[in-house]
Amino acid sequence: MDMDKRNSVVMVTGAGRGIGREVALAYAREGARLILVDRNAEWIAEISETIIASGGEPPVCRTLDLSDAQAIAACFAELKKIVTRLNALINNAGLGVWKSVYDLSVEEWDYVVNTNLRGTFLCAREAATLMKENGGGSIVNIASTRAIMSEPHSEAYAASKGGILSLTHALALSLGPDRIRVNAISPGWIETGDYAKLRVEDHEQHPAGRVGKPDDIARACLYLTDPRNDFVTGTNLVIDGGMTRKMIYEE
């Protein structure tokens, strides 16, 4: 184990399910103290119980809707009274609305963009104030391969994830002097449901020979937040089994 993680404080947003849940469990196994954020209180309570049952330190849990800017500010103001430092932030929370461009409402657009993009920025900014006071840290923004390729009816989601990529390299330059590294991860197909129900053809369409798992992203987060990897900042790590490099033509 990297001994630095035993004394690390790590915040994970969207920690209740899917990728965020596995990321949180991975850091718990490494001995980090966790701050878990999700809009669903029951999910947060469940993962907290899982961590405690496995011998981990009880995490700090907060229910938070990241589309609410004032709630984000209030949450961090409270956290600053509880924790004296923050070593890493995993900006994982996100959602999408899949509708025809002709039917997508302004309110739906705003909810997706405000949650995914603005929420990522605000959490990063608040986290950076804590990191700056303690000599630096690491921020990982979870984007998506949909930032660089798309399917129909994904405009709001794709725009928000594309914005996260640009936000990542801008923050990396702005926060670099404060010894805060900022990177992004763009997952491809990461199956968060029943992996055993996937079809052979689902796996075979990937150059890597399989569909991704949440643990694939969790291990990447551990790498990017490891202090020994302090030469890695401003990058986007695509983890998609090679799919974005695969040329597809209809015969």
For the chain, give the percent of residues with pLDDT over 70: 97
Q: Which of 27, 111, 157, 195 is catalytic?
A: 157
- DSSP for 72-112 reads HHHHHHHHHHH-S---EEEE---------TTT--HHHHHHH
Contact 130, 112 (CB under 8 A): no
Contact 20, 64 (CB under 8 A): no
Per-residue pLDDT at 247 exceeds 90: no
Structure token digits, residue 8: 């690390």
- Report pLDDT digits (tens) over 121-149: 999 999 999 999 999 999 999 999 999 99
pLDDT of residue 4: 56
The chain-wide mean pLDDT, for the chain, equals 95
Per-residue pLDDT at 7 exceeds 80: no
Say which residues have a Cβ less than 8 Å from residue 184's Cβ, sequence separation at least 6: 140, 141, 142, 143, 164, 165, 168, 235, 236, 237
Amino acid at 112: V
Residue 221's closest CA among 90, 28, 52?
A: 90
Domain residue spans of the chain = 3-245
Say which residues have a Cβ less than 8 Å from residue 19's Cβ, sequence separation at least 6: 92, 142, 187, 190, 192, 214, 217, 218
Per-residue pLDDT at 2 exceeds 80: no
Taking the C-alpha atoms of residue 43 and residue 56, their distance in angstroms, rounded to an integer, is 17
Helix or strand or coil: residue 21? Answer: helix
CATH class of 3-245: alpha beta
Amino acid at 7: N
Structure token digits, residue 105: 């409402």
Which alpha helices (H) appear in the chain, and where do they start and end? 18-29, 41-53, 69-82, 106-113, 119-133, 155-175, 200-204, 214-225
Helix or strand or coil: residue 192? Answer: coil
Taking the C-alpha atoms of residue 175 and residue 220, their distance in angstroms, rounded to an integer, is 21
Stated pTM of the model: 0.95
Please say if 27 is a catalytic residue.
no
Burial 125-147 (b: 16+ CB within 10 A, else e): bbbbebbeeeebbbbbbbbbbbb
- Report pLDDT digits (tens) over 103-117: 999 999 999 999 999
Taking the C-alpha atoms of residue 60 and residue 57, their distance in angstroms, rounded to an integer, is 9
pLDDT of residue 69: 98
CA dihedral (12, 16, 20, 25) positive or negative: positive
